[in-house]
Structure 1
Amino acid sequence: MTATDLPFDPDALRAKYRAERDKRVRLDGNEQYLEVAGDYSDFVDDPYIESVLERSPLDDDTEVIVIGGGFGGLLAGARLRDAGISDIRLIEKGGDFGGTWYWNRYPGAMCDVESYVYLPLLEELDYVPTEKYVHAAEILEHSRAIGAHYDLYDNACFQTEVTGMRWDDDEARWIVSTNRGDEMRAKFVVMANGPLHRPKLPGIDGITDYTGHTFHTSRWDYHYTGGGPHGDLTGLRGKRVGIIGTGATAVQCVPHLGESADELYVFQRTPSSIDVRNNRPTDPDWAASLEPGWQTERMQNFNALVSGQPQPVDLVDDGWTDIIGKLLVRIQREGADADLSPEGIAASMELADFEKMEEIRRRAQEIVDDPDTAEALKPWYRQFCKRPCFHDDYLDTFNRPSVSLVDTDGRGIDRITAGGVVANGVEYEVDCIVFATGFEVGTDYSRRAGYEVTGRLGRTLTEKWADGMETLHGIVSHEFPNLFIMSPGQAGFTVSFPHLLGEQATHIAYIIDHALANDVDSVEVEPDAEAAWVQQVIDKSRVSLPFLESCTPGYYNNEGQPEKRAAQNSTYGGGSIEYFQILADWRADGSLPGLQLTR
């Protein structure tokens, strides 16, 4: 099919995408957001505990400390247990395991990647989720089940926040300080803090002037709204509510706010891509038919498809994999004339993307009654520029007479006053502001972690990484022995983040097990090996930079400034499949190449 045969004009779409991007780019990038500290520290208080659990400070010695009780920490703990390591402590600032699913209990919260792929360790726990996309309460319960199954509650420290870490060379131990007065020692530390756990607030003029009620979606205030994760927010009757942010979280909670509030104002800078979710209960006959290895097969099939690698069958068959299906149809239509070179595939992928996004925009137009509102809800960017959303009620919510979309045409909110929100020069008086403004992603690692790490030579991790991350495989860093990092930085990006965490957990457990079995005191990456990996990451990142530069601002592209985030801070440009193979080949070598082992 030639360009003239297409039902859209590719050149016109490219120009439209660029224009929409340009008017949203801000010079302050990530600095437009406020850190939840000082005057804003109450935004990170835990609303899910009745009281702080009292205990005496700890100054004991543990073989492995894992920081973070989300999927990363749980997977690390599980793989360490599988390796026969018994002396493990998980430290978690929340009151239980769950990570982002402990904090995010807003109404309508659910996974947006198929639960059979997303929830880790399903076969190990002999569990099949109840729905294709399960709700947050079930994910939190599964997290707790993992903790119980692997005895990770034993020796765990909840309601405990790490405040600092330093390496003691004489003892060959990490000293971990916490807000509970602890000075714990550990031979190994795994940092599984997670990329989506520290809320951020918009740096809007007057944000501290507002005298009404406020909260962040990751600390939902049911005492104010009434109801629960299922909705029925009876406390909002008679209330005027404003929600700032229209990303994945807002898409899930807006229908419930719109159902209960007397008036709801949805303040939008950039619309999300809203595709069909089509959630449904798990078929019991299908669940009973699953054979050993089914989840790994499904995870790999999904990851291959969303990575652009065609598969004989699409096991998940949802909105995430649909664009690859469109690509295959396009290639089949072209037959022998199809250009299967990398450049040809990229060109075909762009056209398939255009086709998909035209479908998304058409859906908004068909569902939303008011033409101006429908037009404002149309996303003008490539599908994977921002995290795609899937929901069957979000767009319909704007047909309620009590719900108003306040589109700012990419400019954002003007300011906040004592009584409301000013956008497009108009003040909207509201009784409550809900911040659906996401989490810190592109800021310094220590700021996102909430503590500083001081290594063998007295340098902090922030100081060492001032000009960009320096690691081997995104997991270990020179000058920081026996320290392991679980994050997407310099690692393979996955749509289903637990897939990456599982691969990293397997890798880390392998190294720690080897060290313990061979009486190794410290494991540290050699400078040459680290430098070689950094260069490989930089070289690979150049492939994705043009795409990221063309995207509308968001956390995927450092708020529209991917070139300002050092290339070496990016994910591994070769993709997750290549990255996973690199880790597997490294373990198969058996000699731990690039690591210096000290006895």
Structure 2
Amino acid sequence: MDNFHVLTSGGEQDEDLVADGWTEITAKLAAILPRAATDIDPKAVAAAMEVADFRKMEEIRARVDAVVRDPATAAALKPYYRMFCKRPCFHDGYLDVYNRPNVTLVDTRGEGVTELREDAVVALGTAYPVDCVVFASGYENEWAVPYTERAGFDVVGRDGVRLSEKWADGARTYQGLLTHGFPNFFVMSKMQSGLHVNVPYMLNEQSKHIAHIVAAVRHAGHRVVGPTADAERAWVDTIRKLANRNTDFAESCTPGLFNNEGDPRRLSILNSSYGGGSVEFVSVLRQWRTAGDLADLETGP
């Protein structure tokens, strides 16, 4: 898991122990980046990544042409956006379905379905009779939807303050895991925390950190723990400083999960992930645990 984490974050390892689609994509992108900090030209890096991105998407579009026999259908299935505008897929076995005589692709030209009737789906003014409709609604944007709404409940902290009130304008945490004024309350999410393609890996790192805090507090004879106000403020400032959301890139993508359906500027920077990258974030947590002094935390009986 550590090997995969480093490789898919642009780092180097002696051997690729997983060797899947994720490591292939990131290896191609990482290979074009300069290794020495003094050699880094942001414009040159951006241009090189644009070329690498285009080549990968051309591979995908060529694959559609190679599998789907009808040119019009193939043209409608080709993605024309940059690679990480959408969640990457590594299986294209579904493409051959469009060669079946009983399958028709309805291209809505980006407008989507406009009406659902008792026995039909309407798109571009045409009603298509159906026996069954399968909804594939995808994911909910956790950066846009408030945490308490996604959790399905609110949390009440000291002095009756609700988490929904404190985070009305965006999350405020320490290390993405605790929030001042809410003792013994731990959050596991991507907000102000590490973001990586392997979500279970990051959840595992968060779990180890929480377990360390709980064990250390209990060993010290305390039963209550939470971050100081100053520690939380400093972490939020770090999140703002390192925020690396590429708004221009997001706005160039077709509407979807990652760009708030085409409106990325409405997303709060405070709800973004740790901008230094997941490898750096894990290192921050591990160094904090190694110090062993429970710095920036308040404890009580």
TM superposition score normalised by structure 2: 0.92
Deviations 1:346-382 (A, max 9, x none): 4322211111111111111111111111111111122
1:403 aligns with 2:103: yes
Residue in structure 2 matched with residue 422 of structure 1 by the alignment = 122
Which has the higher relative contact order, 1 or 2, with Cα contacts under 8 A spaced 6 or more apart?
A: 1
3-state DSSP class of the match of 1:596? Answer: strand
TM-superposed CA distance for 1:514, in Å, is 1.1
1:13-28 alignment, distance < 5 Å: none
Calculate percent identity across the aligned residue pairs. 50
- Contact between 2:255 and 2:261, CA under 8 Å: does it hold in 1? yes
The one-letter code matched in structure 2 to 1:460 is R
Shift of the 452–416 alpha-carbon distance from structure 1 to 2, 3 Å rule, reads same
Q: Partners in 2 of 1:348 and 1:413 — Cα distance?
A: 38
Residue in structure 1 matched with residue 9 of structure 2 by the alignment = 307
Which residue among 503, 521, 527 is the counterpart of 2:223? 521
TM-superposed CA distance for 1:551, in Å, is 2.5
1:598 aligns with 2:287: no
1:578 aligns with 2:280: yes
- Contact between 2:11 and 2:30, CA under 8 Å: does it hold in 1? no
Which residue among 240, 260, 269 is the counterpart of 1:558? 260
- Contact between 1:484 and 1:508, CA under 8 Å: does it hold in 2? yes
Shift of the 391–564 alpha-carbon distance from structure 1 to 2, 3 Å rule, reads same
1:228-377 alignment, distance < 5 Å: 299-327=1-29, 330=32, 340-341=40-41, 343-377=43-77
1:465 aligns with 2:167: yes
Shift of the 550–310 alpha-carbon distance from structure 1 to 2, 3 Å rule, reads farther
Deviations 1:527-565 (A, max 9, x none): 111111112112211453333333222222222222211
1:412 aligns with 2:112: yes
Q: Which runs of 4+ in 1 moved over 4 A?
A: 328-332, 338-343
Q: Partners in 2 of 1:562 and 1:573 — Cα distance?
A: 16
Which residue among 437, 450, 462 is the counterpart of 2:152? 450
3-state DSSP class of the match of 1:422? Answer: strand
3-state DSSP class of the match of 1:427? Answer: strand
The one-letter code matched in structure 2 to 1:568 is L
- Contact between 2:8 and 2:27, CA under 8 Å: does it hold in 1? no
Q: Partners in 2 of 1:553 and 1:308 — Cα distance?
A: 27
- Contact between 1:376 and 1:407, CA under 8 Å: does it hold in 2? yes
- Contact between 1:323 and 1:353, CA under 8 Å: does it hold in 2? no
3-state DSSP class of the match of 1:508? Answer: helix
The one-letter code matched in structure 2 to 1:470 is R
- Contact between 1:526 and 1:594, CA under 8 Å: does it hold in 2? yes
Which residue among 458, 483, 487 is the counterpart of 2:189? 487
Q: Partners in 1 of 2:252 and 2:178 — Cα distance?
A: 32
Which residue among 183, 191, 201 is the counterpart of 1:499? 201
Residue in structure 1 matched with residue 89 of structure 2 by the alignment = 389
**What 5-or-longer segments of structure 1 have no aligned partner?**
1-298
Q: Partners in 2 of 1:381 and 1:577 — Cα distance?
A: 27
Q: CA RMSD in A?
A: 2.2
Q: Partners in 1 of 2:11 and 2:31 — Cα distance?
A: 14
Question: Which has the larger strand fraction?
Answer: 1
1:549 aligns with 2:254: no
Q: Partners in 2 of 1:324 and 1:596 — Cα distance?
A: 40
- Contact between 1:474 and 1:485, CA under 8 Å: does it hold in 2? yes
Q: Partners in 1 of 2:186 and 2:30 — Cα distance?
A: 40
**What 5-or-longer segments of structure 2 have no aligned partner?**
none
- Contact between 1:368 and 1:396, CA under 8 Å: does it hold in 2? yes
The one-letter code matched in structure 2 to 1:428 is Y
- Contact between 2:190 and 2:273, CA under 8 Å: does it hold in 1? yes
Shift of the 547–427 alpha-carbon distance from structure 1 to 2, 3 Å rule, reads same
Q: Partners in 2 of 1:557 and 1:589 — Cα distance?
A: 38
3-state DSSP class of the match of 1:390? Answer: coil
TM-superposed CA distance for 1:506, in Å, is 0.3
The one-letter code matched in structure 1 to 2:175 is H
**How many pairs does the alignment contain?**
298
Which residue among 231, 234, 249 is the counterpart of 1:532? 234
Q: Partners in 1 of 2:15 and 2:66 — Cα distance?
A: 31
- Contact between 1:367 and 1:395, CA under 8 Å: does it hold in 2? yes
TM-superposed CA distance for 1:418, in Å, is 1.7
- Contact between 1:323 and 1:352, CA under 8 Å: does it hold in 2? no
